[in-house]
Structure 1
Amino acid sequence: MSIPNILSRLRRRAGAGTNDDRGVTLAEMAVTTGILSAVMAIFTTGVVQLFQAGNKNQMVALTQSQLNTAFLRLDRELRYAAGIGPVHPVGGGGSSVEYVNTETATGTPECAQLHLNAAGGTLRRQVWPQGTKPQNRWTVLASEVNVAKSSFTLLPLTENTGFQRLRIQLVVTTSPGPGRTEATTDITFTALNSTRGTDPTTVCPEART
């Protein structure tokens, strides 16, 4: 028996008078309750999925915003780098790459090192005056980095490109939970102050000794 038929019977019996104590059967009530429970379960599932999708989209947007901020900062430095060093592995996992900037506010050339830190799951950076030893003073540019999927690549020179180019592939994971997902950024930076004759091994070698 359908819900409209049961409701119709209830209305008829409710208007039949106060002395009429007839009602619906237990079976009819069980069927009605079961149907309403199924409807509520479907509705609740839809609402939960809607909120989960909204939270996932929000976390992806926040993660992508973090990546964009980090890469905008790197773009200002790598664009005017005078040289980029070789990509090399680091003890404990991950990899590093160095670059040097000669056009600084103080006029003193500065070396910078980017490090994909496997232990902390971060992309971090440190800066020091060229010719001195780095002091291990790091600034985190991005957190929750999947270091196994991220990489630095010093691209080879071509006939048409005499500048050094550094490709950075960064995969960042959103916060833990059912909606956990990854955001990927793949950008190639061109060091406009480098030349075809720039030897990567001479760029900030103190960071590799």
Structure 2
Amino acid sequence: MNLRMMMTRLRRDDGVTLAEMAVTTSIMSAVMAIFTTGVVQLFQAGNNNELVAMTQSQLNTAFIRLDRNLRYAAGISEQHSDAAGNMFVEYLNTEVSAGEKPECAQLELNRATRVLRRQVWPQTTKLPGNWVVLASELNIEKSSFKLLVPEPGSNTGFQRLKLTLVVASNPGRGQTEAKTEITFTALNTDRLTKADDVCPEARA
């Protein structure tokens, strides 16, 4: 075997160099990082969408409950806020059993806990502070109450309450939001109903 044949065989037997291994490893690491990031983002998006869907279902239940109450309300107050930025609205329910006082109810959009909650009490008595949460995971800054009063010349004299709720997944880069608006009509109100007269003890 001459020298040329030996050199040819040695070249055929050359293995992978350390530099080639390093380059290959770097490329594989980059590909795996991209793949892992994509999977994590997909997983987070799926969790956010599931959370929003669950909360939307909760809202539907809350709207049904509120519709039963607000439909027969005898008055609705204007939205007002406290020093912490929590928003409130009150309504009066006169559809009560014989011998009972009319019932006041207060809705609150609580900034700290990101919930819509409600408390009720007999009219003119002290507020109990017994809250029941109706909906959670809300973006309070984008949610609101709005009293709609009859416009001059309109065919209806009913007060209406427009409730806007924005459901939000956990705050962060991948946050998902869904907005819902619904308007409740108080059938026991008329043009003479004054918002300031509705459960004033809640604003004292």
TM-score range relative to shorter protein: 0.7 to 0.9
Describe the SS at the equivalent of 1:72.
Answer: helix
Q: Runs in 1 of length 4+ with deviation above 6 angstroms?
A: none
Is the 1:151–1:168 Cα contact (8 Å) retained in structure 2?
Answer: yes
Tell me the residue number matched to 1:183.
Answer: 178
Describe the SS at the equivalent of 1:103.
Answer: coil
Tell me the residue number matched to 1:174.
Answer: 169
Structure 1 regions of 5+ residues with no counterpart?
Answer: 1-19
TM-score w.r.t. the length of structure 1 is 0.76
Deviation at 1:63, TM superposition (A): 2.4
Q: How many residues align?
A: 190
Is the 1:63–1:174 Cα contact (8 Å) retained in structure 2?
Answer: no
Q: 1:56 to 1:130 in 2, by over 3 A?
A: same
Cα distance in 2 for partners of 1:26, 1:133 equals: 81
Tell me the residue number matched to 1:86.
Answer: 78
Tell me the residue number matched to 2:47.
Answer: 55
Q: 1:179 to 1:66 in 2, by over 3 A?
A: farther
Cα distance in 1 for partners of 2:85, 2:22 equals: 62
Cα distance in 2 for partners of 1:92, 1:21 equals: 77
For 2:87, give the aligned amino acid: S
Tell me the residue number matched to 1:8.
Answer: none
User: Which one of 110, 115, 123 corresponds to residue 108 of structure 2?
Assistant: 115
User: Which one of 117, 136, 149 corresponds to residue 129 of structure 2?
Assistant: 136
Q: 1:39 to 1:87 in 2, by over 3 A?
A: closer
Deviation at 1:21, TM superposition (A): 5.9
TM-score w.r.t. the length of structure 2 is 0.77
User: Which one of 50, 64, 67 corresponds to residue 72 of structure 1?
Assistant: 64
Moved more, 82-91 or 177-186: 177-186
Structure 2 regions of 5+ residues with no counterpart?
Answer: 1-11
Q: Deviations over 1:76-135 (max 9, x none)?
A: 21122122123223343222211111223x343211111223344332211111232322
Is the 2:74–2:187 Cα contact (8 Å) retained in structure 1?
Answer: yes
Query: Aligned residues: percent identity?
Result: 67
Is the 1:157–1:164 Cα contact (8 Å) retained in structure 2?
Answer: yes
The CA RMSD measured in Å over matched residues stands at: 2.7
Describe the SS at the equivalent of 2:201.
Answer: helix
Cα distance in 2 for partners of 1:155, 1:136 equals: 27
Describe the SS at the equivalent of 1:44.
Answer: helix
User: Which one of 46, 51, 64 corresponds to residue 38 of structure 2?
Assistant: 46
Is the 1:93–1:119 Cα contact (8 Å) retained in structure 2?
Answer: no
Cα distance in 2 for partners of 1:115, 1:62 equals: 21
Is the 1:121–1:147 Cα contact (8 Å) retained in structure 2?
Answer: yes
Which residues of 2 match residues 18-57 of structure 1 at below 5 A? 23-57=15-49
Deviation at 1:144, TM superposition (A): 3.8
